[in-house]
Structure 1
Amino acid sequence: MADEMVRAAQQFINTTYDDGAKLGISRLDENGQTSWTVMYALTRALQYELGISGLSNNFGPTTLSTLQSKYPNIHASGAPENIVRIVQAGLYCKGYDGGGIDGTYSERVQDSVLSLKSDMGVDFAYPGGDVVPKVFKGLLNMDPYVTVNGGSEQIRAVQQWMNGEFVNRRDFYIVPCDGHHSRTVATAMLYAVQYTIGMADGVANGNFGPGTKSGIKAHTLSVGSSGTWVQLFTAGMLLNARPVSFGGTFTSALADAVRSFQSFAKLPVTGQGDFSTWASLLVSYGDQDRKGSACDGVTRITPDRAKALKAEGITIVGRYLTNPVPGGGTVPEKEIQSGELQTIADEGMRCFPIYQTFGRGASDFSYPLGRAAGQAAINAALDHGFKSGARIFFAVDFDAYDYEVTDSVLPHFKGIEDAMRDDGNRYTVGVYGPRNVCTRVSDAGHASASFVSDMSSGFSGNFGYPLPANWAYDQIVTKTVGSGSGSINIDVNIASGRDSGQGSFDPPRGVKPDTRLSPDVTTAMETDVGKYMESLGFPLDGGLRSYQHWKCFERTVTAHDDLITELSNRHNMRKALIQTTAYWEMRHISPDDEAAWAAVILAFNTTRQYIRDTSTGIAKQRAVTLIGAWNHALDKGYGSGQPRRDVSVDEDKYNAWKQAYDSETYALTSVALIHRWDIDGKPGGDDDSPALRQPTLGYTDQEIYEVLRRYQGPGDVAYEEAKKRMGLYYVMEKYNSISRNL
């Protein structure tokens, strides 16, 4: 909703500063809505009026010191009119009366500044109606100073108290007073603790370092304690969503609440404000000297390493279901190794599975990719021998902002949840990631337990968020335990007891060649493939495409199962690779494609010219690709029974193209040979990607992705489409793996 005085503020910027040209910005949209864009413009305008060169959006030390030097108190006299106008504009953008934007520091402006200071909690630190530099800094941002969106009045009291108590310290700036915890407030808490310890300006830095730890250890609180330390402690409890009252006396009721928090966080239950409790309140990883009963790592658990872990008190180990990097890269043992789970069980330990490919950015998360991840994790868990009931923790290994959680991560986990449901819920879903990610995914009902990446204390999703209610593992520190052959580097995890992994396992399924599809799985396979494609926007009836789902499934999966099985065995390549490529391409055939095919046939029959190299047949193959792949196969001994053809000869191109158009057998055989050509680096083709290792039934996810991507080509679209093809591959592979393990 437009505010006319905010619109006036925008007009002031546009008219005074040449539509933003003087400020190095574009003309503001005069829409009457407060935003960071407006606040940045006002900040630049202030810098301009102060004579600062190199204007920026940041109200930083230079702006603050220059303002302090030139106009330490802005009031009814002594400040230029445009600076007063910036104050007035800022007040309107914050929801206060600016008295017009006329450059007059009127009583209305003074009254609003008094109200602003009171809301900030700095009215005693900065009495009167003047604007001082730190208040000006707090004015020109989007921080609210009243409760919003259901904010807690108790937390607001903490925020106001910290502002009033510490605002005159050099590096403490006014924090929002909106009743919500945040990264800004969490940093302010650390500064407040450091100032209370007695650290000087320039020493206090907002980090949880040795000096801060030492100071806290000297201030254990118990029933009867009082003063600023208790205020800080109750503030920390409130900011961690504990039901206490903000105050300066350590009461028995507070002690009970502390015991409840300590029990929840698996700290020693003392009822006191001791170091471990302080640490858990102030930083996500807490006291890193704590002993954890669980760990996770990227190194194989051998008998000697298992003994070292047990000696350290570790009884539960988290291990990865897959390693997406060909050859293992720099962590060759990241994936559970052959015989490892049995070693863990033999040593009386337990294991929980983790699924992570890359997942280091929002673009790797979506509903279809979630379905793909869910199916891939199921396949991998079965391969390794995890029994029904295991909880798989799916990783979100990046600092996801809240909007990214909404837009990408939540749909992704809905996809995982749906994949698990369609599989009969043999496994359950856990989430690994920062606190906010874990909480939101769990609150949405997509995960039953959280594995919290609390070591990443600087993540915006950790700093300023409480420990999730359903936390199972809390990752707090990396360390090396054991020595010699037992030495192993691990991430230490505190375990809550909500998850304990598994202590016995089925025999691993092992790497086996593909067989014909079992008749018992084809109906379920067709249904599952259809659901996945529907999630991508492909209706079962074909929609605007030429073929219905059932027809594509029949022609590219079941009708040619004998051929696809033989091709898989001959080329040491999973059937799912061939099925995925062929089905995907056939689902994309459109009436426009078919019209183009008819035009090619008519033109050649009429003129003997091959007028357009359009992709054709059930696997949508172009003549140049077919000729390149088949010639390469003939050279390498991968294929036989076809003549060498010349891509410069129209008749050769047409004959290859027409063979793919007429013969599904030829088209499917060509899929395998095109994959082989792509794997070899596509010599003579249009893709300069390096060669992959020769086909193996143990290809990693990354190698499978590359094979699928290269079939489509080198363009940017192919890279995004290959992520979707991967999901289809996992569904196909699920039923092939069932068939070969019957």
Structure 2
Amino acid sequence: MADEMVLRAQRFVNTTYNNGSTLGIGKLEENGQTGWPVMYALTRALQYEMGITALSDSFGPTTLATIGEKYGKLDETTIPSANFCRIIQSALYCKGYDGGDIDGTYNDRVKAAVGKLHQNMGVASTYPGSSLWPKTTKGLFNMDAYVTVAGGSDTIRSVQQWLNGRYILRKDYYVIPCDGHHSRDVAKSLLLAIQYELGMADGVANGVFGPGTQSGLKSHTVSVTSNATGVWAQLFTAAMILNKNTVAFGDFTTAVQSTVQTFQAFCELPVTGAGDFSTWASLLVSYGDQSRKGTACDGVTMITAERAASLKAAGYKYVGRYLYNPYPDGDLPEKQIQPGELATIKNAGLRCYPIYQTWSRSADYFNTNQGVRDAFQAIDWARYHGFKAGTVIYFAVDYDAMDGEVTSYVIPHFRAVMRTISENSGYNVGIYGARNVCQRVIDAGYASVCMVSDMSSGFSGNLGYPLASKWSFDQISTITVGSGSGSLEIDNNIASGRDTGQGDFDAGVSFDGLDTDLDKDAYRASMLTDVKNYLESIGVPETGGDGWTDSDWATLGGISTTEAFGAVVDADWLFTSLARTLRVRKALIQAPVMWELRKLNPLDFAADAAVQAGLKDDCSTGWGQIFAKTAIQARNYCIGEGIINGTGLDYNNKDDLRAVWDKLHDDQEYNIRSVAYTLIFNAELLGIPRPDLTGNVQVTEACLARYNGEGPDAEKYGQELMGLYNVLENYNALSRAA
């Protein structure tokens, strides 16, 4: 919603500073909405009015120092010009305060707003009156809130205000938000506060959990009998509150002791009920006390018999190893589980939990299609290594995902992972990443447990976030165990007991004979030529046919042979994944999908529209032109046979029928999956063996024919599709052999 006074502030900047060009920026959008662009412009305007020549979006040391040196404080006695005052008034409005009429007058309304600002910041006692001081001016020119915002805690806000009020006069302490949310800035400020109370001088205190801070905290245990009142109790209860523990801010009471015991048990710390060093550490930094000895580990080095013995002797029980290494010739040749390694782990009395990672180091890696592909590959590799049903596979998010990126990229990715793992295997989904991303994926229901990368203490997804509620392994340090041939470097992890890995393994499933991704560089062009030649030989031209007029083709968007081929080849990863999981030939699924895409006609579009309008209950739809009733029957059969997992639906139930039809129409991945299941179901309907990797000609043609029903037309359909199948299988076979 537009705010009239913010709009006036935007117009003031544009009018006064030549549409922003004087400030080295473009014209502000005059929309009446506050945000960083407005705050950056106002910051630059303030710098300009103070005579700073190198203008910047940042309210940095130069801006701060210039205010102090030139004016000391800002009020009606020191503000040098009307425009300078208008900048202050505009900033107040952008922060939600009454800045007067943006008339260049530091009047009673402005003074009241500044007083309210300082009160909300928690610094009114330090800065009484109505003058802005350098640090509170800095706090005015950003997007921090000083009132509790949506989802925030009033108790956390009281801690933020207390920190501001007590430490604002220290050199390196700046006003932190008072919005009721823990954050990176708040976490650093709490560490600064602890360092100040330990006696560190300005310039020495830096907000880093270093050796001096750790040493000091070891002599500042708080409990019901030690430091139960005073600033150390306040700092400790503040740390508890910021980690979302429900305690009262202030004294270390018996109620606090009880909550501390609960927190210690949750974090797998010694349950002392006191604020000892290990507890302080777990509250202040994600990795906590790195001297803790874990019982779990993970690593990129093969576990040999000697290394297994070293781990066992060091008290380790659980070993995390990677299912797959996309770069086996790179710097980490042993990252993937090696042949015979799981038997070694088992024989040593250890247990293994699998991790799946390819790249996963930037937001653009994560999306629905990649989630499906990762899940299928993880299933493949887990079966290859012999992991049993019930195993949790940890899918990595190996970068500092911002909260917005978790929403837009990571959550859809894991939704696809969960659906694919749940439907196509007996495995469970875990997530490996920073605290925030782990918690959000778990809250969304797309992972059951998490492996927390707490060593990455600088990640914004760790700073200011508590340990995830369903953590299984907490990665806190990198150490070396053993010596000689038994020496290996590991990530030392604390185990919660929520996942104990696997201690026994199946023989493993071979990849021999399975389809692989098409070698597109080598075969795409020639494959398209052969597909077009074959279809033309049976009367299917590049465009048109099947009742199409030139006008309908242009209006409705008919799909050419080249376009149908391109769509199928672009989705080759999905056809490959389904074929490998179902142990069928990829061409069996590709052929009907490519055919039905090419053969879409005006009647198909009309039928879809009729279902969408509620005039019909069902029709063939989507890439594979499947009826919802057929999809439900096929899926129910595959569920009953244990081929896939899920809950059966009733095609006589209109709600079930419409829900499946909508998925078939809107979700082409769901549609293609349903094509594969229908082809397997067709074998059951015909009373013949299921399609398999042999590519039996009679079985293949019969299943393809049944895709179009029964009778002479179906037989012709099967014969025509068998020709297309052979063209596709020829190139798939070449890729398999490469």
TM-score range, shorter chain: 0.7 to 0.9
CA 1:377–1:50 in structure 2 vs 1: closer, same or farther (change >3 Å)?
same
Residue in structure 2 matching 1:322, options 321, 324, 340: 324
Cα offset for 1:104? 0.5
Partner of 2:127: 126
Partner of 1:657: none
Amino acid at match of 1:152: S
- 1:250-286 superposed Cα distances (whole Å, 9 cap, x missing partner): 1111111111100000001101110000000000000
Cα offset for 1:78? 2.3
CA distance in 2, matches of 1:234, 1:583: 65
CA 1:668–1:29 in structure 2 vs 1: closer, same or farther (change >3 Å)?
same
Is 15-24 or 76-85 further displaced after alignment?
A: 76-85
Cα offset for 1:339? 0.7
> 1:447-486 residue pairs with structure 2 within 5 A?
447-486=447-486
Amino acid at match of 1:56: S
CA 1:48–1:331 in structure 2 vs 1: closer, same or farther (change >3 Å)?
same
Cα offset for 1:366? 1.1
CA contact (8 A) 1:385 1:507 kept: yes
Pair 1:669-2:730 in alignment: yes
CA contact (8 A) 1:266 1:496 kept: yes
Partner of 1:106: 107
Cα offset for 1:337? 0.6
- 1:537-565 superposed Cα distances (whole Å, 9 cap, x missing partner): xxxxx995469999x99xx99xxx9xxx9
CA distance in 1, matches of 2:239, 2:486: 40
Cα RMSD (Å): 2.9
Partner of 1:687: none
Residue in structure 1 matching 2:268, options 266, 281, 285: 266
CA contact (8 A) 1:439 1:469 kept: yes
- 1:172-201 superposed Cα distances (whole Å, 9 cap, x missing partner): 110000111111111111111111111111
CA distance in 2, matches of 1:128, 1:579: 80
Amino acid at match of 2:295: S
Amino acid at match of 2:188: T
CA contact (8 A) 2:391 2:427 kept: yes
CA 1:663–1:409 in structure 2 vs 1: closer, same or farther (change >3 Å)?
closer
> 1:577-656 residue pairs with structure 2 within 5 A?
none
CA distance in 2, matches of 1:582, 1:330: 41
Secondary structure at the aligned position of 1:450 is classed as: strand
Is 216-225 or 472-481 further displaced after alignment?
A: 216-225
CA distance in 2, matches of 1:193, 1:199: 9
- 1:124-178 superposed Cα distances (whole Å, 9 cap, x missing partner): 1111100111110000111010001031111000000000011111111100001
CA distance in 1, matches of 2:97, 2:346: 66
Cα offset for 1:79? 1.2
Amino acid at match of 2:238: A
TM-score, length of structure 2 as denominator length: 0.73
CA contact (8 A) 1:240 1:281 kept: yes
CA 1:354–1:93 in structure 2 vs 1: closer, same or farther (change >3 Å)?
same
- 1:93-130 superposed Cα distances (whole Å, 9 cap, x missing partner): 11111011111000111111000000000011111100
CA 1:265–1:94 in structure 2 vs 1: closer, same or farther (change >3 Å)?
same
Partner of 2:180: 179
* Aligned length in residues: 565
Partner of 1:206: 207
> 1:277-676 residue pairs with structure 2 within 5 A?
277-325=279-327, 327-423=328-424, 425-514=425-514, 545=559, 665=726, 668-670=729-731
Partner of 2:232: 229
CA distance in 2, matches of 1:266, 1:515: 46
Cα offset for 1:664? 6.3
CA 1:667–1:373 in structure 2 vs 1: closer, same or farther (change >3 Å)?
closer
Partner of 1:151: 152
CA contact (8 A) 2:435 2:453 kept: yes
- 1:313-355 superposed Cα distances (whole Å, 9 cap, x missing partner): 1100011111111x34111111111111111111111001111
Cα offset for 1:489? 0.8
CA contact (8 A) 2:591 2:725 kept: no
CA 1:361–1:588 in structure 2 vs 1: closer, same or farther (change >3 Å)?
farther
CA contact (8 A) 1:546 1:591 kept: no
CA 1:543–1:180 in structure 2 vs 1: closer, same or farther (change >3 Å)?
farther
Cα offset for 1:590? 8.3
CA contact (8 A) 2:422 2:428 kept: no
Amino acid at match of 1:364: Y
CA 1:57–1:587 in structure 2 vs 1: closer, same or farther (change >3 Å)?
farther
Secondary structure at the aligned position of 2:338 is classed as: coil
Pair 1:246-2:283 in alignment: no
Amino acid at match of 1:360: R
CA distance in 1, matches of 2:217, 2:317: 31
- 1:424-445 superposed Cα distances (whole Å, 9 cap, x missing partner): x501111111100000000011
Cα offset for 1:500? 0.3
CA 1:576–1:477 in structure 2 vs 1: closer, same or farther (change >3 Å)?
farther
CA 1:319–1:186 in structure 2 vs 1: closer, same or farther (change >3 Å)?
same
Partner of 2:29: 29
Cα offset for 1:662? 9.0
Cα offset for 1:508? 2.0
Amino acid at match of 1:243: T
CA distance in 2, matches of 1:79, 1:509: 77
- 1:177-229 superposed Cα distances (whole Å, 9 cap, x missing partner): 01111111111111111111111111011111001101111101110421111
- 1:52-85 superposed Cα distances (whole Å, 9 cap, x missing partner): 1221111011110111111221111221222211
Cα offset for 1:509? 2.2
CA contact (8 A) 1:581 1:671 kept: no
Amino acid at match of 2:266: F
CA 1:212–1:544 in structure 2 vs 1: closer, same or farther (change >3 Å)?
farther
Partner of 1:90: 91
Secondary structure at the aligned position of 1:475 is classed as: strand
- 1:351-379 superposed Cα distances (whole Å, 9 cap, x missing partner): 01111111111111112211111111111
